[in-house]
């Protein structure tokens, strides 16, 4: 998908053949075997990955994912998307992504700690605050980052907070980092509603994925006055056409850990959730959720891609025939996370910390600029928002490569 999207943009921008390969292929791809001792005394070997897509603009940046489907190809695609995301928002980074093929729900806390520390140890030759900086992604969180930071710091012999972002605030994390992706998603939805001229108080939203991104986005939308009528997680979905009381749902989640079983909504499947009639559809889970099978049936006015790669290129072609749908493409929609990661890295390097208001103010300014540039290009050149966002992202990297020249 990532390569297909790149080719489309390269054709449109008429990027010469010899530049294409330089932009497309990941600079470094690592695969590591991670043996850990399970709690029952046995030894199990997991596969870990890290792909650094390009190093032209600075260190690489991107999340670390723990999920059974993690594989080198998926990580490479996610790394490429990180490159265009960082470039679109003007960050001094190339893209990266890493992961371990595992089901974190089936590992104990101490097994997760051993796995994370082993992965960090194996990655030490390839990472650093000026080389590659990791952050949370699907299946990882602040605790994962704290273990990584501790492992790296122990190896160096001094504390290095800038080796990861998305850490606990008490270890040099940034205020607002945890909420930043979801809040950014809600900010951009609000801007899209302005552009389309509809009122938040009358609008409905459906959120697929109720993890760190989806739940914060849902709450932010509810605070803007939208009715969040359906949500889901890996256990299943919930629908209440009058609007789900998210604060009550949070209480349910505290005891049950999954959204299903919440008494004030009816159960629905993931497939039904995606085609539920609403004003704003927010896929905030995994890749390839909107495909050629359901793209003609989704019923929203704004498709806000909080996940990375939720819409396939085949689905994109179908959505292109449906001008009533306004797409906020993933590399723009969920960029709030990495933008605030950048702020965290800057604060760590300077050992000078900002208030949450400063962080949010700077975040929304960057998102506003990226949104306006994308919208302007999309309208002026009569291309989709995705093509506009990708074009802006790819062009900056291409120009930087050109300025630096080819070594030797």
Task: State the Cα–Cα distance between residues 345 and 360, nearest whole angstrom.
Answer: 15
Q: At what angle do helices 385-404 and 17-24 cross, to 10 degrees?
A: 100
Segment near ligand GLU (CB under 6 A); pick from 57-65, 265-273, 385-393, 399-407: 57-65
Contact string 139-178 vs ligand GLU (x = CB under 6 A):
--------------------------xx------------
Task: State the Cα–Cα distance between residues 112 and 201, nearest whole angstrom.
Answer: 43
- Residues of this chain, 264-293, that bind ligand GLU according to CB under 6 A: none
3-state SS class at 302 = strand
Taking the least distance from each CB to ligand GLU, the nearer of 341 and 378 is 341
Q: Does 137 bind ligand GLU (CB under 6 A)?
A: yes
Segment near ligand GLU (CB under 6 A); pick from 56-64, 150-158, 186-194, 294-302: 56-64
With CB under 6 A as the contact rule, the residue among 26, 48, 59, 63 that binds ligand GLU is: 63
Catalytic-residue membership of 97: yes
Task: State the Cα–Cα distance between residues 362 and 227, nearest whole angstrom.
Answer: 28
Q: Does 60 bind ligand GLU (CB under 6 A)?
A: no
Q: Does 308 bind ligand GLU (CB under 6 A)?
A: yes
Instruction: Select from 69, 141, 126 the least CA-distant residue to 96.
Output: 126
Catalytic residue (choose from 97, 293, 380, 401): 97
Contact criterion met (CB below 8 Å) for 61 and 162: no
Contact criterion met (CB below 8 Å) for 160 and 152: yes
Instruction: Select from 303, 307, 207 the least CA-distant residue to 259.
Output: 207
DSSP string for 201-243? GG-EEEEE--SHHHHHHHHHHHHTT-EEEEEEETTEEEE-TT-
Taking the least distance from each CB to ligand GLU, the nearer of 166 and 200 is 166
Q: Tell the smallest beta-carbon distance from residue 369 to ligand GLU (Å).
A: 18
Residues 6+ apart with CB under 8 A from 256: 262
State the Cα angle at 198 between 197 and 204, rounded to 5°. Answer: 155
Instruction: Write out the two tokens for 277.
Output: 């009639």
- Scan for tokens 């989709």, then name that residue: 384
Taking the least distance from each CB to ligand GLU, the nearer of 135 and 222 is 135
With CB under 6 A as the contact rule, the residue among 15, 112, 115, 135 that binds ligand GLU is: 135
Q: Tell the smallest beta-carbon distance from residue 177 to ligand GLU (Å).
A: 8
Q: Tell the smallest beta-carbon distance from residue 370 to ligand GLU (Å).
A: 13
- Residues of this chain, 329-358, that bind ligand GLU according to CB under 6 A: 334, 337-338, 341
State the Cα angle at 111 between 110 and 114, rounded to 5°. Answer: 85
Taking the least distance from each CB to ligand GLU, the nearer of 88 and 102 is 88
Instruction: Select from 208, 350, 203, 183 the least CA-distant residue to 269.
Output: 208
Segment near ligand GLU (CB under 6 A); pick from 22-30, 55-63, 167-175, 271-279: 55-63
Contact string 95-134 vs ligand GLU (x = CB under 6 A):
----------------------------------------
Task: State the Cα–Cα distance between residues 335 and 163, nearest whole angstrom.
Answer: 20
Q: Residue with CB nearest ligand GLU?
A: 63
Known catalytic residues are 97
List residues near ligand GLU by CB under 6 A: 61-63, 135, 137, 165-166, 308, 334, 337-338, 341
């Amino acid at each position: 998908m990532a390569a297909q999207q790149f080719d489309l943009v390269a054709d449109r921008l008429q990027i010469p053949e010899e530049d294409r390969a330089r932009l497309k292929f990941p600079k470094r791809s690592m695969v590591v075997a991670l043996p850990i001792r399970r709690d029952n005394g046995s030894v199990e070997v997991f596969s870990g990955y890290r792909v650094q897509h390009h190093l032209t603009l600075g260190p690489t940046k991107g999340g670390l994912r723990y999920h059974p489907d993690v594989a080198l190809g998926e990580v490479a695609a996610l790394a490429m998307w990180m490159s265009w995301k960082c470039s679109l928002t003007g960050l001094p980074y190339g893209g990266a992504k890493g992961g371990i093929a595992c089901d974190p729900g089936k590992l104990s806390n101490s097994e997760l700690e051993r796995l994370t520390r082993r992965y960090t140890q194996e990655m030490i030759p390839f990472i650093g605050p000026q080389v590659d900086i990791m952050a949370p992604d699907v299946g990882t969180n602040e605790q994962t980052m704290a273990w990584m930071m501790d492992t790296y710091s122990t190896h160096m012999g001094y504390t290095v907070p800038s080796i990861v972002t998305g850490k606990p605030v008490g270890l040099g994390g940034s205020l607002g980092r945890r909420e930043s992706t979801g809040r950014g998603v809600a900010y951009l939805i609000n801007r899209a509603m302005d552009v389309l001229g509809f009122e938040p108080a009358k609008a409905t939203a459906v959120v697929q994925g109720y993890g760190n991104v989806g739940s914060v986005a849902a709450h932010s939308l509810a605070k803007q006055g939208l009715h969040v009528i359906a949500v889901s997680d890996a256990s299943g979905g919930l629908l209440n056409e009058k609007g789900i009381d998210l604060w009550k749902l949070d209480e349910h989640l505290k005891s049950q850990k999954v959204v299903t079983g919440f008494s004030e909504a009816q159960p629905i499947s993931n497939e039904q959730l995606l085609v539920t009639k609403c004003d704003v559809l927010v896929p905030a889970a995994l890749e390839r959720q909107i495909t050629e099978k359901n793209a003609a049936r989704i019923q929203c006015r704004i498709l806000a891609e909080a996940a990375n790669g939720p819409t396939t290129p085949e689905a994109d072609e179908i959505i292109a025939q449906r001008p009533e749908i306004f797409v906020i493409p993933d590399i723009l929609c969920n960029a709030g996370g990495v933008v605030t990661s950048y702020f965290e890295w800057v604060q760590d390097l300077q050992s000078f910390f900002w208030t949450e208001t400063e962080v949010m103010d700077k975040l929304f300014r960057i998102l506003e600029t990226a949104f306006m540039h994308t919208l302007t290009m999309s309208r002026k050149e009569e291309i989709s928002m995705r093509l506009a966002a990708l074009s802006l992202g790819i062009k900056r990297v291409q120009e930087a490569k050109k300025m630096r020249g080819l070594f030797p």
